Structures are given as structure tokens and as C-alpha cells.
């Protein structure tokens, strides 16, 4: 009787050890995944910061261009404004229709 009790205790301890090993392996896997997620978040944050800087620079360039255009529109004749509007329309047409076919 003691032998069967000891055998069942040993079997239960063996099952517990197996479960602990499985849980340890799953925790290692989860840790690796969480580290990879952290790395990806850091990479995405750097990319977004870079995009923010690029948009800021572009906004500054466009602001400068608009100020220059306003000065030019005030000081030049109407021909320059018409030529500028035509240039913008042609550029938009090129970007939208011609580049879409490529």
C-alpha cells in the first residue's frame, strides 16, 4: 500500500515538474515576444519622430514660399500671378494623372 502511495506521489511530482517546465518555456517565449514588441515600438517611435521633423521642415519651407509669393503678388503685375497659377495647375495635373499611370 505504501508503495502505490509513493508511486502516485512521485507521479504527481513528476507531472508538477513537467508543468513547471512548460510554464517556464512559455514565459521565456512571452519574454522574447515582449522584447521584440518593445524593439518595434522604439523603431516606430524613431520613425514617427523623423516624420514629424520632416513635416515641420516642409511646413517651414511652404511658409517661406507663401510669404515670397505674397510679396511677389503685391509687387508684380497680374501676369506673374496667372503664370504661377498655371504652373501650379500643370504640376498638380502631372502629379495626379501622369504619375498615376506609371
Question: What stretches in the chain show pLDDT beneath 50?
Answer: none
Residue 82 DSSP SS3: helix
Which three cell numbers, joined as nine digits, stand for 91?
504640376
pTM for this entry:
0.51
Which three cell numbers, joined as nine digits, stand for 94?
502631372
pLDDT score for 27 = 97
Residue 69 and residue 84 in contact, taking contact as beta carbons nearer than 8 Å: yes
pLDDT score for 76 = 61
Nearest 5°: the CA angle 39, 44, 48 is 150
Amino acid at each position: 500500500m505504501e508503495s502505490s502511495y509513493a508511486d502516485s506521489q512521485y507521479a504527481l511530482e513528476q507531472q508538477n515538474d513537467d508543468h513547471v517546465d512548460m510554464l517556464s518555456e512559455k514565459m521565456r517565449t512571452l519574454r522574447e515576444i515582449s522584447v521584440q514588441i518593445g524593439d518595434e515600438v522604439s523603431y516606430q517611435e524613431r520613425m514617427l519622430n523623423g516624420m514629424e521633423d520632416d513635416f515641420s521642415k516642409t511646413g517651414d519651407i511652404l511658409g517661406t514660399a507663401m510669404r515670397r509669393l505674397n510679396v511677389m503678388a503685391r509687387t508684380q503685375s497680374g501676369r506673374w500671378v496667372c503664370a504661377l497659377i498655371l504652373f501650379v495647375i500643370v504640376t498638380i495635373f502631372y502629379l495626379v494623372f501622369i504619375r498615376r499611370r506609371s
